[in-house]
Amino acid sequence: MFSSYSSGRSQRVCSINGAESNFHFVVKALMKERPSLPLMLSFVSSILLCSYTMRNFERPVGEERGQDFGDLRNATWCVILTMTSVGYGDYYPVTDEGRFIGTISAILGFMLLSLMFVTLNNLLEFEISERKAFTFLYRLGEKQKLRKAAARVISLAYYSRRIRRIYTEDSRVYKEAFNQFRKRMFEFKILSRRIRGLYISTEEIDILEREIDMMHDKFYDLERDMNTIKSDHLNMNTKMDTFLELLRSRVENQRPNHEDPDRTEEKTNLTTDFVFESEE
């Protein structure tokens, strides 16, 4: 497939990261970059291929049943209805080959429609910057609603106080005004709790993002320390192997029948000096 994701540079990058730059990788990359174009090409090519194949299989027996499959438009209509799981029944295959093509069309339509729904859902999702902008604008709108609700509560409280001076608490006018005040006050409390919840949820998301970044940094530091420890361990093993080889060669070259104390002391001093030199 001709694409920048199948070039030599892409193959080198994929090999560095432990991936394979094959056909599946190219399809996935194109679906991530431009999902509408591969889906449209897949739909059109599947419809044309299945329609042409069904037309060739159903044309000899279509005239006997009053279904003109000789016209490519009718075969295309049948394939489209099969792929979308509609199936009006005005055109349908009767041969084994035509039914096989209809089955393939139904499977392809199910897969392509599923990919289309997933792509549409991904297109409608906010990015990080878009989500932050939407949250900010939504907060501003909710704050404006809260101001209006607070103004209504204050006006109803002032109206209820004026009614109380004119009418008694048992009068119908005062009860209606007080019930209206309680209703608006309840709405104001619900709206204020919802706005407070918006701020709390956003703060929690920010805290989680910071904690995840800190965990990533700690993981990288731990990985670097592990690599340092491995390199030190390899160097130590190399030094120990060198020391053992040298010690073995000297013992074999200077092996007497009966070792005297002076020679034993000399070998011990030689071994100690080599250990100090290796540590330095």
pLDDT at 279: 47
H-assigned helices in the chain: 8-16, 23-33, 36-62, 72-83, 96-124, 128-166, 172-253, 261-279
Lowest mean pLDDT, pick from 23-32, 148-157, 203-212: 203-212
Provide DSSP, 161-181: HHHHHHS-TTSHHHHHHHHHH
**Mean pLDDT along residues 190-202:** 72
pLDDT, average across residues 228-246: 83
What was the pLDDT predicted at 265? 52
What is the sign of the dihedral through the CA atoms of 29, 30, 35 and 41? negative
**What's the average model confidence in pLDDT over 102-130?**
85
- Alpha carbons 150 and 181: distance in angstroms, whole number: 11
Average pLDDT of the chain, as a whole number: 78
CB atoms within 10 A of CB 82: 24
pLDDT attached to residue 275: 42
pLDDT in tens, 42-54: 889 999 999 999 9
The whole-angstrom separation of Cα 267 and Cα 113 is 83
What phi, psi does 2 have (nearest 5°)? Answer: -80, 110
- Residues 23-62 as b or e (16 or more Cβ within 10 Å = b): eebbeebbbeeebeebbeebbeebbeebbebbbebbbeeb
Query: Do 105 and 83 touch, CB atoms closer than 8 A?
Result: yes
Asked if residues 61 and 95 have their Cβ atoms less than 8 Å apart, the reply is yes
Q: Which DSSP state fits 70?
A: T
Spatial separation of the C-alpha atoms in residues 179 and 189, rounded to whole Å? 15
In this prediction, residue 175 has a pLDDT band, given cuts at 50, 70 and 90, of: confident
